[in-house]
C-alpha cells in the first residue's frame, strides 16, 4: 500500500505492519518502519504493540484500541483520536500537535515531554473521513489546537508537556501530573483537576473557570492577569487569607509565591511569627512581596537582590546578611537586628502605591557596623535606630528621618543628603 492510498486498513494489515516495525526497531533483516500518513485506522486494535518512532501524521484512530502500546517518539501530528482508548500506553516525547483526542479514555498513560502545541492541518488531510478538518473542529481554521475535550485522563503523566493553547475543557484529569508543563492559553474550563499536580507549570493566559481544583498542587505555577480561575472550586477557599502556621514553612512560601504571581487568584499570603527561614535554604530569587514575618530569623542568609517590597518584618533578625542590591521598598523593619549586614546599593526608597508613598521604616533597628554604601534610603524612618560604625559612603539620606538616631563612629559626612 502506498502512502497516498487513503483506504481503510484491515486488522490483518496492521498486525503485519506492527511485526515489520518491531523488526525495524531491533535492526533485524526484513524490518520496515511504520509510516502510515493520512490513513483510516478507525476501531482497529494496536493493543500492546511497540510502535515507538512510527509516523501516523494526519491519520484517523477514531475508536481505536491503543491500550498498553509503546508510542514513544511517535508522530501523531493532526491525527483524529476521538473515542480511542489510550489506557496504560506510553507516548513519551511524541508529537501531538493539532491532534484531536476528544472523548478518549486515558488512564495511567504517560505523555511526558509530549508536544501538544497548535498544529496546521495539511492540505492532504482535507476531505478525508475522520480528519480534523473544518467539519470536525470549531472555527474553520487551518491552525488548530490539540483537544482532549471531554476525555477521561485520570492518573496520567503530562510532565513537561508543551500544551500551548490545548483544549482540556470538560475532561476528567483527576490525579494527573503536569509538573513543569507549558499550559499557556490552555482551556481547563469545567475540567476536573482534583488532586492534580501542576507544580511549576506555566498557566499564563490559561482559563480554569468552573474547574475542580480540590486538593490540586499549584506550587510555583506561573500566572498573569489573563489567567482566569473564575468560579473554580478550591478546598482552601474557606480558609483565612493568612496561614495559621500549621503547614511547613516551605509549603507556605510556595503558596505565597503563587498568591503574588497570580495577584491573589490562587495561593495564600504568608503570615508567620518566630520562624527560622534558614531552614528553607536559598530564597533570594523568590518574589517575597507583601510577606509578613515578624520576629523571624534570617541571620547570615544570602538575600542579595531579594524582592521584599511592602513586607512586614518587625523584630526579625537580619544580622550578618547579604542584602546587596535588594529591593526593600515600602517594608517595615522596625526593631530589627541588622548589624554587620551588607546593604550596598540596596533600594529602600518609598514604594509608590495607588498614588501614595509607603516609606521604609527602620525605626529603632540596629544597623551597627553595617555596609550601606550606595544604598538609597530616601525618606526612610531611622528614628531611634543605631548606626554605630556603619559605612554611609554615598548613601542617599534625602528626606530621611534621623530623630534620636545613633550615628557614633559612622561617616555620615560621606552620605548624600
Residues 6+ apart with CB under 8 A from 94: 71, 72, 73, 74, 75, 76, 111, 114, 115
CA distance 300 to 223: 32
Mean pLDDT, rounded, for 181-209: 92
CA distance 124 to 262: 43
- For residue 295, give its domain range: 274-417
Residues 6+ apart with CB under 8 A from 200: 179, 180, 219, 220, 221
Residue 247's pLDDT band (boundaries 50, 70, 90)? Answer: low
Residue 326's pLDDT band (boundaries 50, 70, 90)? Answer: very high
- Residue 246 has a pLDDT of 54
- Residue 120 has a pLDDT of 57
Mean pLDDT, rounded, for 330-339: 96
Q: Report which secondary-structure segment, H or E, holds 21.
A: helix 11-26
Mean pLDDT of the residues in the chain: 87
Most confident of 108-117, 142-151, 165-174, 347-356: 165-174
Residue 19's pLDDT band (boundaries 50, 70, 90)? Answer: very high
Paired residues of 292 in beta bridges: 271, 312
Number of helices (H), then strands (E), belonging to the chain: the values are 2, 6
Mean pLDDT, rounded, for 140-168: 80
Mean pLDDT, rounded, for 68-77: 96
Give percent above pLDDT 90 in the chain: 59
**Beta-sheet strands, E only, within 61-174:** 119-120, 143-144
Q: Is 356 helix (H, G, I), strand (E, B) or coil?
A: strand
CA distance 397 to 417: 5
Look at residue 27 and tell me if it is in a domain.
no
Cβ atoms of residues 54 and 35 within 8 Å? yes
Of 340 and 252, which is predicted with more confidence? Answer: 340
- Residue 107 has a pLDDT of 84
Which cell numbers in the block locate residue 35? 509510516
CB atoms within 10 A of CB 392: 24
Residue 129's pLDDT band (boundaries 50, 70, 90)? Answer: very low
Q: Report which secondary-structure segment, H or E, holds 144.
A: strand 143-144
Look at residue 279 and tell me if it is in a domain.
yes
Look at residue 316 and tell me if it is in a domain.
yes
- Residue 1 has a pLDDT of 35
Look at residue 70 and tell me if it is in a domain.
no
- How far CA 325 is from CA of 196, 303, 373, in Å, comes to 38, 9, 11
pLDDT beyond 80 at 364: yes
Residue 331's pLDDT band (boundaries 50, 70, 90)? Answer: very high
- Residue 269 has a pLDDT of 87
Residue 4's pLDDT band (boundaries 50, 70, 90)? Answer: very low
Of 123 and 342, which is predicted with more confidence? Answer: 342
Residue 217's pLDDT band (boundaries 50, 70, 90)? Answer: confident
Mean pLDDT, rounded, for 122-132: 43
CA distance 313 to 331: 7
Quote the pTM value. Answer: 0.56
Mean pLDDT, rounded, for 13-35: 97
State the CATH number of the domain containing residue 364.
2.160.20.80
Mean pLDDT, rounded, for 339-352: 95
Mean pLDDT, rounded, for 371-396: 97
pLDDT beyond 90 at 76: yes
Cβ atoms of residues 346 and 328 within 8 Å? yes
Mean pLDDT, rounded, for 111-136: 57
Look at the chain and report how many structural domains it folds into. 1
Look at residue 399 and tell me if it is in a domain.
yes
pLDDT beyond 50 at 298: yes
Among 260-274, 285-299, 317-331, 343-357, name the one with the lowest average pLDDT.
260-274
Q: Report which secondary-structure segment, H or E, holds 11.
A: helix 11-26
CA 239 to chain centre: 23
DSSP state of 131: S
CB atoms within 10 A of CB 405: 20
- Residue 144 has a pLDDT of 60
- Residue 240 has a pLDDT of 37
- Residue 162 has a pLDDT of 86
Amino acid at each position: 500500500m502506498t502512502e497516498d492510498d487513503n483506504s481503510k486498513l484491515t486488522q490483518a494489515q496492521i498486525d503485519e505492519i506492527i511485526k515489520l516495525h518491531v523488526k525495524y526497531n531491533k535492526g533485524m533483516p526484513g524490518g520496515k518502519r511504520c509510516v502510515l500518513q493520512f490513513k483510516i485506522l478507525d476501531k482497529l486494535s494496536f493493543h500492546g504493540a511497540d510502535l515507538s518512532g512510527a509516523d501516523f501524521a494526519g491519520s484517523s484512530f477514531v475508536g481505536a484500541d491503543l491500550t498498553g502500546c509503546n508510542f514513544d517518539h511517535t508522530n501523531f501530528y493532526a491525527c483524529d483520536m476521538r473515542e480511542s482508548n489510550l489506557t496504560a500506553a506510553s507516548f513519551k516525547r511524541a508529537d501531538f500537535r493539532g491532534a484531536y483526542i476528544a472523548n478518549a479514555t486515558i488512564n495511567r498513560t504517560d505523555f511526558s515531554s509530549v508536544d501538544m502545541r497548535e498544529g496546521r492541518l495539511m492540505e492532504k488531510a482535507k476531505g478525508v473521513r475522520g480528519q480534523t478538518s473544518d467539519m470536525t473542529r470549531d472555527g474553520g481554521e487551518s491552525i488548530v489546537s490539540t483537544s482532549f475535550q471531554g476525555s477521561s485522563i485520570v492518573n496520567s503523566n503530562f510532565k513537561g508537556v508543551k500544551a500551548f493553547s490545548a483544549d482540556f475543557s470538560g475532561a476528567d484529569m483527576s490525579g494527573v501530573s503536569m509538573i513543569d508543563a507549558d499550559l499557556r492559553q490552555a482551556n481547563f474550563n469545567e475540567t476536573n483537576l482534583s488532586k492534580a499536580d501542576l507544580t511549576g507549570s506555566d498557566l499564563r493566559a490559561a482559563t480554569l473557570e468552573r474547574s475542580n481544583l480540590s486538593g490540586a498542587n499549584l506550587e510555583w505555577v506561573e500566572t498573569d492577569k489573563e489567567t482566569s480561575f473564575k468560579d473554580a472550586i478550591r478546598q482552601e477557599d474557606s480558609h483565612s487569607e493568612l496561614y495559621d502556621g500549621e503547614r511547613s514553612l516551605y509549603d507556605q512560601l510556595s503558596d505565597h509565591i503563587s498568591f503574588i504571581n497570580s495577584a491573589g487568584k490562587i495561593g495564600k499570603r504568608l503570615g508567620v511569627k518566630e520562624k527560622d527561614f534558614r531552614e528553607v535554604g536559598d530564597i533570594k530569587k523568590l518574589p517575597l512581596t507583601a510577606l509578613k514575618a515578624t520576629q523571624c530569623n534570617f541571620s547570615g542568609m544570602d538575600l542579595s537582590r531579594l524582592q521584599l517590597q511592602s513586607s512586614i518584618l518587625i523584630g526579625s533578625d537580619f544580622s550578618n546578611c547579604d542584602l546587596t542590591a535588594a529591593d526593600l521598598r515600602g517594608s517595615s523593619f522596625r526593631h530589627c537586628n541588622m548589624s554587620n549586614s551588607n546593604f550596598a546599593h540596596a533600594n529602600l526608597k518609598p514604594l509608590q502605591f495607588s498614588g501614595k508613598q509607603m516609606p521604609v521604616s527602620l525605626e529603632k533597628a540596629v544597623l551597627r557596623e553595617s555596609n550601606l554604601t550606595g544604598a538609597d534610603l530616601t525618606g526612610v524612618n531611622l528614628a531611634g535606630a543605631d548606626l554605630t560604625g556603619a559605612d554611609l559612603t554615598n548613601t542617599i539620606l534625602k528626606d530621611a528621618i534621623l530623630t534620636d538616631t545613633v550615628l557614633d563612629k559612622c561617616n555620615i559626612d560621606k552620605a548624600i543628603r
